[in-house]
A = this chain, B = another copy of it.
Amino acid sequence: MEILITNDDGIYAEGIAALAAALKKMGNVTVVAPDTQRSAVGHAITLADPLRVNEARRNGNFFGYATSGTPADCVKLAIKTLMKKKPDLVVSGINLGANTGYNILYSGTVSGATEGALLGIPSLAVSLDTFVRPDFSAAAAFSAKIAAAMKKHRLPAGTLLNVNVPAIPASKIKGARVTNQSRTSFNDWFDMRKDPRGQIYYWMDGDFKPKDSDTSSDLNAVRAGYISITPIQFDLTDYKFITELENWKI
């Protein structure tokens, strides 16, 4: 099994090392990831600039390819150029911080996996619901488990899996739940500040503690101590609204 791994926290992040270690037991792992943090890049791709690729080492050993691009760039470049064989699986993560609700739109982690799905490869995004003192072991073990399920079963064309793992000890995790995306997002605002030369700048800030009454959502599953597995797809058409919009007679 050929496995391509990427992330948006950068190739030297802890989460991608834990993921690669867990998946190495299942097949031949190729890591192609951004050379630094690319969080919140969404599904950006790099058109106006060239991409550089360098070998990245960890603990003295070759680990993978660090690129100057986004997660989506990494997956395109890996599949179209760097890998000799097409991967059987693309896994993006393990992200520091959950990717639930509308926030998945901003997520470089999810977009890495999305790019895999658009290129016809079974794809998975994995995130851990914490920014502090992460223990990736449960999320890494679960990534291997779900990868095995993806090998056995079949995803519909264009559909990928978005997995979020609660940041609690593995023994406390209650299990995995198939969920839908929560219809909630960040509450964000801007700090207006002055730089040392007295010039104004703005810095985005925000929190993600929305109320969500939807008990089947990714957000509430993780809050309740479950791993959430949300199947997502990218036909964004609001089919339910088409007939009404036709009646607008524009």
Residues of A within 8 A of B (CB): 37, 39-48, 50-53, 72-73, 76-77, 80-81, 102, 104-106, 111, 114, 118, 145-146, 149, 153, 155-156, 158-159, 161, 176, 178, 180-181, 183, 185, 188-190, 192-193, 195, 199-204, 229-242, 245-246, 248, 250
Q: Which listed residue (B44, B176, B178, B233) contacts A42, Cβ 8 A?
A: B44
- Asked if B159 and A241 make an inter-chain contact with CB atoms under 8 angstroms apart, the answer reads yes
With A50-B203, A73-B204, A149-B248 already in contact, 8 other A-B pairs whose C-beta atoms are closer than 8 Å: A39-B48, A45-B204, A51-B204, A77-B190, A105-B234, A180-B239, A180-B242, A181-B235
Copies in the complex: 2
5 contacts between A and B (CB under 8 A): A43-B106, A50-B193, A76-B188, A180-B235, A231-B242
- Asked if B53 and A47 make an inter-chain contact with CB atoms under 8 angstroms apart, the answer reads no
A39 to B233, CA, bound (A): 23
**A237 touching B181 in the complex, CB below 8 Å, given contacts A80-B189, A146-B250:** yes
